[in-house]
Structure 1
């Protein structure tokens, strides 16, 4: 579960997402099912990168950032191993699907 702060309302928003791991970091793909618009949770964390993450019973604060091109190239395959449809979603849109890195605070 990812909790972000709404960029317009300031309200906390929880979203269940598929995640991957890179060492201590968690990884997310802002695919929105291949839609031409970014998902709201991604827009929220770009406005305020301080997020809360829950994995199982563990809850922790994290800072979110979008992977740069080199990081994304290195991590994309890891995410498609977790959820192969990400490759399909990339073909459905001209939008670059952001890969988000969550680092514990």
Structure 2
């Protein structure tokens, strides 16, 4: 017999339709822009992730590209996931960051220059476990994707002031 906790790990949790997810992202970006950045970002608190705005260089255009992401803090690093709403393809921001790892993030308390990379090995395992504490459906969502979901570490850039 399967226990309730095993069911949570093996069942695919419900997700809204893709059009709804994309609409919600557009509304979030609109609130951020329309408020001049006063609405839309938050700090992580307890077992809740925060929201940051990442600006990376477009791998094809060379132009700045921004996206709002969920994150938590791991010492001086910020940790997110390259999940694309749990859709199949890798998110464009992650492809851009892989092509040019230097980026900036906007947090509630200001901007920070960062360098992005994928967590690997024991670090990835530890950070994935932390995300699992935040979202108990994480493994079910990740199982929807054909490839492993990257855990993205945004490290402070020592060569930049963050402005």
Q: TM-score, normalised by structure 2?
A: 0.61
Q: Structure 1 stretches (4+) deviating beyond 6 angstroms?
A: none
Assess, with a 3 A threshold, how the Cα gap between structure 1 residues 58 and 71 changes in structure 2: closer, same or farther: same
Assess, with a 3 A threshold, how the Cα gap between structure 1 residues 38 and 11 changes in structure 2: closer, same or farther: same
Q: Which of residues 44, 47, 58 is equivalent to 2:110?
A: 58
Q: Whose relative contact order is higher, 1 or 2, with alpha carbons under 8 Å and at least 6 apart?
A: 1
When structure 1 is superposed on structure 2, of 64-73 and 77-86 the one drifting more is 77-86
Indicate the structure (1 or 2) with the bigger Cα radius of gyration.
2
Q: Residues 13-55 of structure 1, C-alpha deviation per residue, up to 9 Å, x if partnerless? A: 1100000111110001001122221000000000000010111
- Gapped runs of 5+ residues in structure 2? 1-52, 158-163
- Provide the aligned length of Structure 1 versus Structure 2: 105
Q: TM-score, normalised by structure 1?
A: 0.92
Higher-strand-fraction structure: 1
